Amino acid sequence: GITRHYKFNIKLQNVTRLCHTKSIPTVNGKFPGPRIVAREGDRLVIKVVNHIQNNVSLHWHGIRQLRSGWADGPAYVTQCPIQRGQSYVYNFTITGQRGTFFWHAHISWLRSTLYGPIIILPKRDVPYPFVKPYKEVPLIFGEWWNADTEAVIRQALQSGAGPNVSDAYTINGLPGPLYNCSANDSFKLKVKPGKTYLLRLINAALNDELFFSIAKHTLTVVEADGIYVKPFDTDKLLITPGQTTDVLLKTKPDFPNATFFMAASPYFTGLGTFDNSTIAGILEYDDQPSNSSAINRKKQLPLFRPTLPPINDTAFVANFSSRIRSLATTQFPANVPQTVDKRFFFTVGLGSSPCPKNQSCQGPNNGTRKFAASVNNISFALPTTAILQAHFFGQEKGVYTSDFPINPPFPFNYTGTPPNNTLVSNGTKVVVLPFNTSVELVMQGTSILGAESHPLHLHGFNFFVVGQGFGSFDPNKDPPNFNLVDPAERNTVGVPSGGWVAIRFLSDNPGAWFMHCHFEVHLSWGLRMVWIVLDGEHPNQKLPPPPSDLPKC
């Protein structure tokens, strides 16, 4: 591989959407941010210089960071944030990975504007396991607030209530023609007839799982989270925040006399107000250059809109996610751990915590409490220095404790009547894993405040989704049905609304690895925890010391 250098200047830029202009944090003045393109085996050296007031850190979502955990990015987990006027060089090699990923800020809600695609191509002369696309197009979904998103989350955390919903969803930063004052801000994909396009879909939205479809076209799913899957055809799909999905789009053989909308709308089963608007882009067939009547003709083209599933279509979601299977071939094996060293059972969900004295809260229980979210009833509190640093230098005292409850603190029927105790407690608790531990983790949605799906994301690893189901996980009846042959291998999985998911991974990467809900609001409420993976015996199983420019807190 080669070394590719990037310079990311974090600076403010005026951007207008929906007739609102605001000054937003950007990389190099671009919104969405620049695209990183590299090949498997390349080294990326990305110098990030912070020119804004806010502290910043960037994360390379889905990149495993094998023995380069110092470059992973979540603030107060692997590094202290980069302060104004300071810089940090993220230096890592893409080992054994190719596919679609993305980068985003990993502190507070700055990722609402600081994000962009990462495309890792296969090594030179290594073909895709599917037809060579005529063209590749990244489609990155996002969310736009007219208000300042830092103010939105600050206000929510202070009041204990849910944050204001966004004003629009976006494709490549553009809300599209279905929103008011947005007709000119539409993503348009111009295609030629009879060709195959590879669409690299990335969900970088903060709080919304999205259905996606293109009117009157079939999509062939070929990759999820940077792992090739058994191809299958569908006319709609679901993508959670933190997931990427590559699809082949075969265009019609001739110039159809029509314009097609591509559209995305949210999947949501929880409580509360929700932005259920639809975002759209346009698929337009290129006319032959010699066709002089093209312009006239275009004005009368009928317009087709796709039908998207209803907002709470959990049956579609479960069915779609179960169709995603690893290739499991000799060339692309599914290395599912067949035995398990350690089993964990985590509850994930929303709850509430007491309203601080002298404060009035607007959260659950008739507005008397604050919203909180937790794993095994622990709402994870970020420390004031980085966990990885504390671990590496043996200074964990006062930073974190290693007593994360590895089983839920009280038994209850997770989908039935909520127990009285829905209060969560705060803590900075981690699970410590020896090197090369084969882990099985069942994550159970608690449904205490209504059944809701949680897109759980694990840093540092891919995991295999060996099982999922509705209701309460049954430790006797469910494991015999686990798929240990060709399960999906990914880095983000939706814990089903009103159900559970079981994953397996091998702890072969020393470091401190964040695991959290990729809904930014749930992350802010504490639905997050950290795995610390110890060094192995051999020199190539150890985490090297931090780079000298690692930011200080």
Q: Is 408 exposed, middle or buried (0-12, 13-18, 19+ CB in 10 A)?
A: middle
Burial 173-207 (b: 16+ CB within 10 A, else e): bbbbbbbeebeebbbebebeeeeebbbbbbbbbbb
Q: Whose Cβ is closer to ligand C2O: residue 61's or residue 522's? A: 61
Residue 441, phi then psi, degrees to nearest 5: -125, 125
- Nearer Cβ to ligand C2O (269/492): 492
Q: How far is the CB of 526 from ligand C2O (least distance, A)?
A: 14
Q: For the sheet containing 20-27, what is the strand order?
A: 20-27, 3-17, 43-50, 87-93
Q: How far is CA 83 from CA 87, 113, 288, 299, in A?
A: 8, 18, 52, 51
Enclosing H/E stretch for 366: helix 364-367
Task: List the structure tokens of 435.
Answer: 């090197």
Least distance to ligand C2O from the beta carbon of 242, Å?
5
Q: How far is CA 381 from CA 58, 59, 144, 524, in A?
A: 20, 19, 27, 9
State the nearest-atom distance from the C-beta of 49 to ligand C2O, in Å: 22
CB of 204 to ligand C2O, least distance (A): 8
Site for ligand C2O, rule CB under 6 A = 59, 61, 74, 104, 106, 242, 457, 459, 514, 516, 518
Closest CA to 387 of 328, 314, 460: 460
CB closer to ligand C2O out of 74 and 551: 74
For ligand C2O, which is the closer residue by CB, 67 or 457?
457
Measured from the CB atom, is 217 or 522 closer to ligand C2O? 522
Answer yes or no: are the C-beta atoms of 168 and 143 closer than 8 Å. Answer: yes
- Residue 354 CB, shortest distance to ligand C2O, in Å, is 28
Q: What is the smallest separation between the CB atom of 449 and ligand C2O, expressed in angstroms? A: 23
Q: Which residue matches tokens 């090369």?
A: 436
Q: Which is nearer to ligand C2O, 516 or 522 (CB)?
A: 516
Please tell me the distance from the alpha carbon of residue 500 to that of residue 114, in angstroms, as a whole number.
32
Smallest gap from residue 110 Cβ to ligand C2O (A): 12
Q: Which is nearer to ligand C2O, 219 or 443 (CB)?
A: 443
One-letter amino acid for residue 179 of the chain: Y
Residue least distant from ligand C2O (Cβ): 61
